[in-house]
A = this chain, B = another copy of it.
Amino acid sequence: MKIKVGYQGNHGTFSEIAAMRFFAGKDYEACGYPNFKVILTDVENGVLDYAVLPVENTTTGVIARCYDLFRHYDVHAVGEIDIPIHEDLIVLPGTKLEEIQEVYSHPEALSQCTEFFAAHPGIKSVPFQDTARSVEYVRECGDRTKAALGSWRAREYYGLESLISKVQDSDLNMTRFLIVTAKEELDPKADKISMMLVLKHRPGALYNILGILAKKGINIMKLESRPIPGRIFEYMFYIDFSGNIRNREIKEVLKELELRCEETKLLGCYPAADPEKFSENQS
């Protein structure tokens, strides 16, 4: 039976690309969903085997809404993958740059391509629902004066052409996705742990908690504080650190964190993505 993988959005979104890359070589089926809540509910009740959730972007930072939802469901992360976000200028086959009068895309994508629009003052940027839908819209219109900013996957799925690749101003835009499941599963190569911790908001609280990790020589990869609605004297932290939950020392660390924090939740244990490993050949 095919592995069922959920992602947010339509064909051609970077979430679909993340699912395709992570499950490449496996017998899977990727299903687009309208929002994160529905995806997580379907993972929890077993309709989906896995979901691919964007959690952090190098330009815009942590995708807090997704993180904050995730911890309320009975699911955990078993993998992560980094995907470069490259917007291509996508056109009907054979279209020339001189023909284009309007470029459609999500406002966020349009705002990342300011240099392109400054260099082509005759081309109007038109905000649209999402990048993938804007590519579909260009195909529907069949009008060579219209183009879209979107992913290589949207271009491929809708059978269009990329006139310019990597149109965005910065080349360093990357999104980190977590692969989550409700199954009991632990990759033997897992070397990274994600947790949510709630601390009392008092001097030294975070220092004392980090001491538990420092004493064992554990490396912290990410730490982010988040306010807790309605609880102004407590703080929530998302933390990533190195280790495997089967390891005896890590088990001691987890036990101590549980004792010393107001609340803890293990979000997952998985093999860390290797940023060097990623191949650009498909993008």
- Selected contact of A62 from candidates B61, B114, B211, B237, CB within 8 Å: B61
- Selected contact of A63 from candidates B60, B210, B217, B223, CB within 8 Å: B60
* Least CB separation from A34: chain B residue: B114
CB distance from A66 to the nearest CB of B (A): 10
Q: Which of A57, A107, A230 has the most chain B CB within a 10 Å cutoff?
A: A107
State in angstroms the CA–CA spacing of A35 and B112 once bound together.
11
Contact with B along A34-72 (1 / 0, CB 8 A): 010000000000000000000001111111110100000
State in angstroms the CA–CA spacing of A201 and B240 once bound together.
13
Instruction: Indicate if the CB atoms of B62 and A229 lie closer than 8 Å.
Output: no
> Does chain B have a CB within 8 A of A159?
no
Query: Chain B contacts of A210 at CB under 8 A?
Result: 206-207, 210
Instruction: Indicate if the CB atoms of B219 and A201 lie closer than 8 Å.
Output: yes
Chain copies in the assembly?
A: 2
State in angstroms the CA–CA spacing of A217 and B61 once bound together.
30
> Does chain B have a CB within 8 A of A121?
no
Within 8 A of B (CB), among A189-218: 201-204, 206-208, 210-211, 213-214, 217-218
CB distance from A72 to the nearest CB of B (A): 14
Which of A24-32, A126-134, A150-158, A179-187 touches B? A126-134
Instruction: Indicate if the CB atoms of B219 and A222 lie closer than 8 Å.
Output: no
> Does chain B have a CB within 8 A of A96?
no
> Does chain B have a CB within 8 A of A172?
yes
> Does chain B have a CB within 8 A of A1?
no
Q: What is A's interface to B at a CB cutoff of 8 Å?
A: 35, 57-65, 67, 106-107, 111, 114, 127-130, 172, 201-204, 206-208, 210-211, 213-214, 217-227, 229-230, 232, 237, 275
19 A-B pairs besides A35-B114, A61-B64, A203-B220 with CB distance below 8 A are A35-B111, A58-B229, A60-B63, A60-B64, A61-B61, A61-B226, A62-B64, A62-B224, A172-B229, A203-B213, A203-B214, A204-B214, A206-B223, A207-B207, A207-B210, A207-B211, A207-B214, A222-B225, A224-B225
The 11 listed contacts between A and B (C-beta, < 8 Å) are A59-B65, A60-B65, A61-B226, A62-B64, A107-B129, A127-B127, A203-B217, A207-B210, A207-B214, A210-B210, A224-B225
